Structure 1
């Protein structure tokens, strides 16, 4: 089950800081040659003061004896996504794994959420997953059709906010839920070309969550920072490796030392009248079915959230 990446080329988007940086370093430690993408924007997507976070991570990898190259394009544009895949192919001659991770936040309650803030967050998270996936998949399809079926992997980044919802994050929650849907479709469509597609819903301390997750130690004696982003990377590295053969179309939560397979929408209690319902009948049936169903998880930040 080794996640050795010797000879493999891995692209990680949003890899200048936080989870992406941790993933890039972890892949490099396993022998991967890494394309480190980061646009260098601030927490809300506006131009940042650090214009080259990707280059800093590349320096870290090279100083540790690894191979890496930076890419500073906007992966939520066709040009940026295409040039990202091209950077891997032109530099290293191949592409094996794509980790989609880029994103930022513009939190607002729904009644205060402007269209620009909605569009910006959906664009970076959802379009910023779709376009790199699309261009990488086109390359792998061409390889498969040429008789060189790849052992290719895509790891997408969703969130608990996308699985359960999060108060004050309607735009982010919607985008992260969309990433789960995209993952399921991509896994089904791309399997014939040797591509596996999975998603992780991480909980870790990054720029986006540092006010939520302070430096927190795990249980006594475990001796590690439970909310460090490095705790999520081992699962991502394994999913991005040849060792994950046969695992596709799945969503995992990863936090501290815990990994959970998430089980999504599937049929629960059902009633079939065999004819059209009246509104009153439909309501009675719905209430009866709800009484027999599992209650949904609490929305993050809701009043009844523990």
Structure 2
């Protein structure tokens, strides 16, 4: 099976360097027309320049591909709407959106300014929402769309000094879960990549040998798979160094405590049973979990 994107149009945000650049180059190499979006700011989101996006466009065109540059700040919905309008004017459609743009403002929670918390959410969470909202109706009308969010181990599992980043990244998994349900009837598939890669965001954190092992191009094939014709939907794909794993939320089986015993002490006494991960399973949607708790409660009432 060969995965190609001939005739497809892809928007990749934060595509001037690192992971986004690799994603954009790879889509173009496999036939997609690519919109290379990059605000051109620093790692903390400051500044702004179109040079990085234009350089990637030049690379794509030199290799025989088709691409245009866009400098929209994803945190600004009006700029994002203009980017999508530019895309449709240039190429007539939007098939693929990779929400990759991001910034870092790392500090311990005690030292973190509220402004630094909000700015990271504005780019990662609101930026991804803005871009997705701007393409959503087009994809619905086409009855085709592939959207990838970008999460992180910092959100899935936690990382000291990244309360803002972790909160934004975990929120994107929740956004994926809902958009999967709302989009699947129109063949819009929504997935999330959790990359481990050497970028300007990780350059100061790891030794050179580790950075070489997790070069960003070893993540990109996972993104292309999640955007393919036969892609799954509602998948969190962890990717790094050429290795891939699926991540999901699971929950232990409900442990019912009768009203006569219901108390914090009863929960403490049975917490080993409540947290027995051998009983864990995943739910396809929220109603399944709610229904299971109601079923257990009604069954216990009848007993």
With normalisation by structure 1, the TM-score equals 0.86
1: distance between equivalents of 2:103 and 2:207?
Answer: 19
Q: Which structure has greater helix proportion?
A: 2
**CA 1:26 to 1:217, structure 2 compared with 1: closer, same or farther past 3 Å?**
same
Please point out which of 183, 189, 192 is paired with 1:190.
Answer: 183
1: distance between equivalents of 2:66 and 2:190?
Answer: 25
1:257 aligns with 2:242: yes
| 2:206 corresponding residue in structure 1 | 213
- Structure 2 runs not aligned, ≥5 long: 279-303
Between 1 and 2, higher relative CO (CA 8 Å, sep ≥ 6) is seen in 1
| 2:214 corresponding residue in structure 1 | 227
Map Cα deviations across residues 191-240 of structure 1 (whole Å, 9 max, x no partner).
1121000000000000101112344379xxxxxx4211011111111211
2: distance between equivalents of 1:68 and 1:210?
Answer: 28
Q: Secondary structure at the match of 1:126?
A: helix
| 2:296 corresponding residue in structure 1 | none
- Structure 1 runs not aligned, ≥5 long: 219-224, 295-306
| 1:45 corresponding residue in structure 2 | 45
| 1:149 corresponding residue in structure 2 | 143
Q: Secondary structure at the match of 1:182?
A: helix
**CA 1:217 to 1:205, structure 2 compared with 1: closer, same or farther past 3 Å?**
closer
CA shift at 1:158, angstroms? 0.5
CA shift at 1:70, angstroms? 0.4
| 1:56 corresponding residue in structure 2 | 55
1:270 aligns with 2:254: yes
CA shift at 1:269, angstroms? 4.2
1: distance between equivalents of 2:167 and 2:204?
Answer: 22
Q: Quick check: 2:38–2:50 contact (8 Å CA) kept in 1? A: no
2: distance between equivalents of 1:157 and 1:213?
Answer: 21
| 1:85 corresponding residue in structure 2 | 84
| 2:291 corresponding residue in structure 1 | none
1:241 aligns with 2:225: no
CA shift at 1:285, angstroms? 2.1
1: distance between equivalents of 2:39 and 2:59?
Answer: 18
Q: Secondary structure at the match of 2:198?
A: coil
Map Cα deviations across residues 161-212 of structure 1 (whole Å, 9 max, x no partner).
1100110000000000001100111111111121000000000000101112
Q: Secondary structure at the match of 2:191?
A: strand
Q: Number of aligned pairs?
A: 277
Q: Secondary structure at the match of 1:261?
A: strand
Q: Quick check: 2:257–2:266 contact (8 Å CA) kept in 1? A: no
2: distance between equivalents of 1:77 and 1:14?
Answer: 14
Q: Secondary structure at the match of 1:85?
A: helix
With normalisation by structure 2, the TM-score equals 0.87
